[in-house]
Chains A and B, each alone.
Chain A
Amino acid sequence: MLSQRVVLSPDALFQEIGGEGVILDLKSSSYFGLDEVGVRLWQLLQADPSLQAACDTLLTEYDVQPAQLEQDLIKLLEQLTDAGLATVE
């Protein structure tokens, strides 16, 4: 899973303030909320689609076990892909 690339939807507008984030999907006109880790993941994926690279960076920034982080990221990515905000390649 971590070896995959995540392409963010060009129809997604991302807004972050005070550590919380919201995505507006222009296609469906729906909103999607992100918590602090979600915000950081989105920012990292905007710069580099490598999920492994994002995971490595997050491990340096948060006090979390790799297995737990991987599990959380997979769950979040499922939500993002279900909402059409990202595709995994």
Chain B
Amino acid sequence: MSYSQVGSHRSMVFDEYRNELYATAIRKLVTPDSVVLDLGAGLGVHGLLAAAARVKRVYLVEPEPVVQLAKEIARANGLADRIVILEGRIEEVELPEQVDLIISVFTGNLLYSEDLLPSLFHARDRYLKPGGHLVPNFAELLLAPVSAPDLHAKHIGRWSEPHLGLDFSASRRFAANEIIWPGREELKAERLATGVVVSTVDMTQASHADCRGEARCRIETSGPCHGLLGWTRIRLADQWLSTDPASPEVHWSPAVLPFDPPLSLEAGEDINISLQRPAHGDWTWSIKAASGTRRHSSFLARTDGPRRLSKVAADASPGLGRRGQHALHVLAMMQAGHSIREIAQSLADSDRHAFQDFESALQHVQALAVRYGGNG
């Protein structure tokens, strides 16, 4: 998801339940002398709540320029004197002092899914004072086997039904390995067992964000198991915030890790479930029950696997494709100090087939300039 638009922050800023719990935790942990870091601040909602709690200073660190809007919001709320905005990734910016509290919302819908936790660990190791606090400071990922026939039929079974007189069933094995993110209204799932913790992160000590968890649970209700419902709990000072769809509504979607075909579970039996994901990698989940075993992976949902691998495998030497050559051409000219117009003209001249007019070359150069250009 891109966080560069205000609209993408709406669900987070107006997630009242979540933000009230954050506000309560912040108020509990700060004093008038506290220096606070709001990491991945977005529009700065949590940092502004800290500033409103009358702390000494709040640093809002956010890579997206949308954070600049927080200046105006801070001014409108009489908090501008306590807010310092640092646009950039925490690994790139420089805080001039250590902080007493780091606030973050880096746990994603399925704890690890946004791959932001390493940035939190970096911030903690570099900027948190001894005895300082983290909000959240602990997180758990839970799974529960569920019966969800409608969801399964809609996302997986449907691929096996003829559509417009065509057979799309070759797609089913890919669909069956995709994590489903249904809205709460779409999620009609009966839990066959109480959720179990499969992975935890102690933010105060963790140094890696690999998920490798296993758990055993006892089936309480017999039925066909269509997948595992997944959710996250995070500890905010002394309170827990859960994305469990049975808990008060939050902006995070529930996640369902499907099984195909479904397997039958009997009340009283013990099953084993596992979940793993290396940082930035694929999710793999499995179940072992009396009626059988299933193992799925988002790796098996990817249709770009072989092609992508041929470029990214550690021993690959992929060279530069056509688009890479264009980018190299543009970046070299940018570094040499040419204007956008000059570069676009040169690019268009260099490959008339790819760029049929100056305008299309110009757009290409502008996109690269936004991403890689200097001047701040």
Residue-wise interface mask of A (15-49) relative to B, using a CB-CB cutoff of 8 A (1 in contact, 0 not): 11110111010100111111000000000000000
Specify which of B278, B299, B312 is in contact with A13 (CB 8 Å cutoff): B299
Which residue on chain B has the smallest CB distance to residue A29?
B278
Known: A33-B310, A34-B306. 13 other contacts (CB 8 A): A15-B300, A15-B305, A16-B306, A18-B306, A20-B306, A21-B306, A22-B306, A29-B210, A30-B314, A31-B309, A32-B313, A33-B306, A33-B316
B303 at interface, CB cutoff 8 A: yes
A29–B209 Cα distance when bound, in Å, is 13
Chain A residues lying within 8 Å of B276, measured Cβ to Cβ, are 26
A-B contact pairs, 14 of them (CB 8 A): A13-B297, A15-B306, A16-B306, A18-B306, A20-B306, A21-B306, A22-B299, A22-B305, A22-B309, A24-B282, A24-B299, A31-B309, A32-B313, A33-B309
Q: Interface residues, chain B, CB within 8 Å of chain A? A: 210, 276, 278, 281-282, 284, 295, 297, 299-300, 302-303, 305-307, 309-310, 312-314, 316
**10 closest pairs, A vs B, by CB?**
A20-B306, A29-B278, A22-B305, A24-B299, A33-B309, A22-B309, A15-B305, A31-B309, A22-B306, A13-B297
Q: Which residues of A are at the interface with B, using a C-beta cutoff of 8 A?
A: 13, 15-18, 20-22, 24, 26, 29-34
**Docked CA distance A30–B316 (Å):** 13
CB neighbours (8 Å) of B284 from chain A are 13, 24, 26
Is the contact region of chain A dominated by helix, strand, or loop, or is it mixed? strand
Q: Bound complex: CA of A20 vs CA of B305, how far in Å?
A: 9
CB-based contact B313/A31 at 8 Å: yes
Docked Cα-Cα span, A17 to B307, in Å, equals: 10
Q: Are B299 and A33 in contact (CB under 8 A)?
A: no
Min Cβ gap A83→B in Å is 10
User: Which residue on chain A has the smallest CB distance to residue B296?
Assistant: A13
Shortest Cβ distance from residue B175 to the other chain A in the assembled complex, whole angstroms: 14
Known contacts A33-B309, A33-B310, A33-B313: A15-B278 contact under CB 8 Å: no
Cβ distance B298 to chain A, nearest Cβ, rounded Å: 10
Task: Tell me, in angstroms, the Cα distance from A20 to B304 when the chains sit together.
Answer: 10
Instruction: Kindly list chain B residues whose C-beta atoms are within 8 Å of the C-beta of A29.
Output: 210, 278, 281
Residues of A within 8 A of B306 (CB): 15-18, 20-22, 33-34
A17 adjacent to B297 (CB under 8 Å): no
Q: Which residues of the partner chain B approach A24 to less than 8 Å between Cβ atoms?
A: 282, 284, 297, 299
The answer for the CA separation of A29 and B212 in the assembled complex, in Å, is: 11
**With the chains together, A18 CA to B308 CA distance in Å?**
13
Q: How far is the CA of A16 from the CA of B174 in the complex (A)?
A: 11
Complex: A63 Cα to B32 Cα, angstroms: 80
